[in-house]
């Protein structure tokens, strides 16, 4: 391990410990193994979740600013920043803005871009998702719950649905839990296709609060219950994207690109 090289993996965070280790932890382990010459630092952006983890479990998790400060104190001058965020949305922008003053103090800075920044990125992930869910039959459906954002340069979720169609997977669709388009693409697709069964899965790094409550919860407005109300069987797949090696590999590729450039 080099004494002056650092790797900071920045996630939003989650208080769901099981999914944390299967997703964020799995991503981090891949990075530790791939970039074993770098000192590793875990950082979470959510102050609420960091506080909850400290009070509930006695676990101190660094903020991104604290992680950079510690890396600098420990003699690191070459730093690789790897966000686990999917989108170049508001949250990602806040991270970069907050860290910019500190990053100027390092000799070399490498920042990986989010997974879904270009149309080619969307096509790549769509291909991986259809391969992961390849056992879904033509008379069934897969509906993914994305987070959503009001500050994207690309119409990410619309492009996903167009891409699934173009790739011949018209029984796949994506909606959002926040902002547009909401659950509508899934409801419209169910009404149109009348599938025997719908598999619901989060298009989120972790299967946390949104997946367990907004998607699979018992409230009448959960995705599960709204789709069930249309007379279709629903099965919830409570696995975050971080559980899939195919998706984790996309993060590694982003990091390698950042180091090369």
Q: What are the catalytic residues?
A: 147
d(CA 175, CA 158): 9
């Amino acid at each position: 391990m080099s004494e002056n090289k650092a790797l900071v993996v920045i996630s939003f965070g989650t208080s769901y410990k099981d999914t944390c280790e299967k997703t964020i932890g799995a991503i981090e382990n891949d990075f530790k193994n791939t970039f074993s010459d770098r000192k590793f630092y875990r950082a979470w952006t959510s102050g609420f979740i960091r506080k909850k983890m400290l009070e509930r479990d006695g676990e101190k998790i660094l903020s991104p600013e604290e992680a950079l400060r510690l890396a600098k104190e420990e003699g690191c001058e070459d730093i690789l920043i790897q966000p686990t965020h999917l989108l170049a949305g508001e949250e990602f922008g806040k991270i970069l803005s907050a860290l910019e003053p500190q990053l100027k103090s390092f000799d070399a800075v490498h920042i990986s871009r989010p997974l879904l920044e270009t149309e080619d990125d969307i096509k790549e992930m769509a291909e991986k998702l259809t391969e992961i869910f390849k056992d879904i039959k033509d008379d069934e459906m897969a509906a993914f719950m994305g987070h959503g954002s009001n500050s994207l340069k690309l119409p990410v979720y619309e492009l996903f649905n167009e891409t699934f169609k173009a790739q011949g997977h018209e029984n796949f669709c994506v909606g959002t839990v926040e902002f547009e388009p909401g659950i509508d693409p899934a409801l419209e697709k169910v009404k149109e296709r009348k599938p025997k069964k719908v598999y619901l899965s989060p298009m989120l790094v972790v299967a946390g609060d949104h997946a367990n409550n907004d998607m699979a919860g018992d409230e009448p407005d959960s995705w599960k219950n709204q789709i069930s109300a249309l007379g279709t069987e629903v099965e919830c797949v409570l696995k975050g994207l971080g559980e899939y090696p195919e998706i984790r590999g996309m993060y590694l590729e982003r990091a390698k690109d950042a180091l090369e450039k």
